[in-house]
Amino acid sequence: RLATSAATARAVAPHSRHHRTRTIAASSAAPTPAPAAGAATSGVVSTTTFAQVEDADLLKACAAFLADGPFALAPTSGGVNNHVRYVDDATGARRVVRLHNNGQDTARVIFEHAVLDAAGRAAAARKLPFAIPKALKSLEDGTSTFVVLPSGDAACVFELIPGTLPKTRSAFEVGQATALMSACLRDAEADVRAVCPTSPTSVYRDIFGAFKNKGGSRDGFYDEANTNAGLDEKRDAVNRLLDAIRALEVTLADIEAKGGLPSTLIHGDVHYDNTLVDEVTGEVTGILDFEFASYDWEFMEPAAGLSKYVGEQDPTPFVKDYIRGFVSESNPSEAEIDALPDLIKLRVLETVVYFVARSWAKEDDISQLALRAENYAARVDWIDANADLIRSTMREAIAAKKM
């Protein structure tokens, strides 16, 4: 029998190995059409997880939430961790089924669904102009929004959100929607804390948190990154990334010594691969994949979004448009503006730690990092060279808003 309650889920899958899970952009999305002629395409590497899943497990999850079988599965696009498929029922209705590939860390799923529940209410109160994922409730009890399969993995089914992945299009709109989502999550924080006082997701500012949550340590991370043979062909880029992480450790300690930055409930992973837009208007139709949510520095939200654009061949126009969109719906402090370039680097470099941690824990292949190492190193170089541009663009956008 499938476990459906939070209490049962905890019993089935103890959360001794918390870790971050990365996103699959189509997890609540409509099919992504090919870019129109002349449309911008992304230069950022996108791959799928090397972990495998049986269709039978996905179909078990479908049967827990959907009554109109039989069900037909269809592939989604993109992704780095979880197993996600479109599912069509016998009536032709399409939804999305997700099976978590997170080391059976059910506490992560409990937290994500608490966030979705509270954020859904806050979004309705704010009348947000876009959707967030809505999980179906199980047929067995009518309340649970995920089940734990006999394998020990958690699974759920979401309603479909229409739209297409924007990639480098609609940077202003993505920035604007990120600020609106951030305000919504501030509203939802108290309700989430009432259910989950702490987050099982490590905070960004603990840059080695993803490694520690798998039983490792700071020194263990450096040892693994330095000795993993799968990174040897990219050793120059990897060494540059490790040097940047060491330098960022000092910067983060300095920010903390000055009192840190404003914190709240954050999504933690809003970027152009977790956002859907209307293909015609470019307006945001949905923000996806809340499994990265945590209580953390609020300004990690724009840092996450900008961390994708800085990986493009010519980041400047996207960075400027995104910042202007974000500022149109937010009022950053001077301390946040000053820290932003380092926070963008933190988002990039924490992902390096994450991929090393997953390889060390035998949850995925180190080639996930090898594929990205040179791009990540180039991102850090661009941020360092354009830190003043990032700050001045945000200050100018704030000044323009006041005119």
* Extents of the domains making up the chain: 6-158, 171-402
Listed in sequence order, the residues at least 6 apart from 68 whose beta carbon sits closer than 8 Å to its beta carbon are 89, 90, 91, 93
CATH number of 171-402: 3.90.1200.10
Q: What is the pLDDT of residue 52?
A: 59
> Strand order of the sheet with strand 83-88?
72-75, 83-88, 94-99, 154-158, 147-148
Q: What is the pLDDT of residue 19?
A: 33
Radius of gyration of the chain (CA): 20
- Beta strand pairing status for 154-158 and 284-287? unpaired
Mean pLDDT on 177-187: 98
Residue 372 has pLDDT above 70, yes or no: yes
Mean pLDDT on 231-236: 98
- Percent of the chain exceeding pLDDT 90 equals 78
Of 112-116, 200-204, 249-253, 294-298, the poorest mean pLDDT is in: 200-204
Is there a cis peptide before residue 332, judged by omega within 30 degrees of 0? no
Q: What is the pLDDT of residues 50-85, one digit of tens each?
A: 445 678 999 999 999 999 989 999 998 755 578 899
Residue 231 has pLDDT above 80, yes or no: yes
Confidence of residue 2 (pLDDT cuts 50, 70, 90): low
Residue 10 has pLDDT above 80, yes or no: no
Q: How far apart are alpha carbons 312 and 43 in whole angstroms? A: 5
Q: What is the pLDDT of residue 79?
A: 54
Q: What is the pLDDT of residue 27?
A: 38
Q: What is the pLDDT of residue 250?
A: 98
Residue 403 has pLDDT above 90, yes or no: no
Q: What is the pLDDT of residue 104?
A: 82
Start-to-end C-alpha separation, the chain: 62
Confidence of residue 309 (pLDDT cuts 50, 70, 90): very high
Q: How many residues comprise the chain?
A: 403
- Among 260, 247, 257, CA closest to 333: 260
Q: Is 342 helix (H, G, I), strand (E, B) or coil?
A: helix
Which stretch of DSSP H or E encloses residue 75?
A: strand 72-75
Mean pLDDT on 27-56: 47
Q: What is the pLDDT of residue 102?
A: 77
Residues 255/355/238/246 CA torsion (nearest 10 deg) = 20
Mean pLDDT of the chain: 88
Confidence of residue 184 (pLDDT cuts 50, 70, 90): very high
Alpha-helical segments (H) within 258-361: 300-309, 316-327, 334-360
Q: What is the pLDDT of residues 129-138, one digit of tens each?
A: 999 999 999 9
Q: How far apart are alpha carbons 329 and 295 in whole angstroms? A: 21
Mean pLDDT on 199-215: 93
Q: Letter for the amino acid at 121? A: R
Angle value at C-alpha 175, between 358 and 334, nearest 5 degrees: 95
Mean pLDDT on 125-152: 96
Q: What is the pLDDT of residue 301?
A: 98
Residue 109 has pLDDT above 90, yes or no: yes
DSSP calls for 134-160: -BPPPTTTSS-S-EE-TTS-EEEEE--
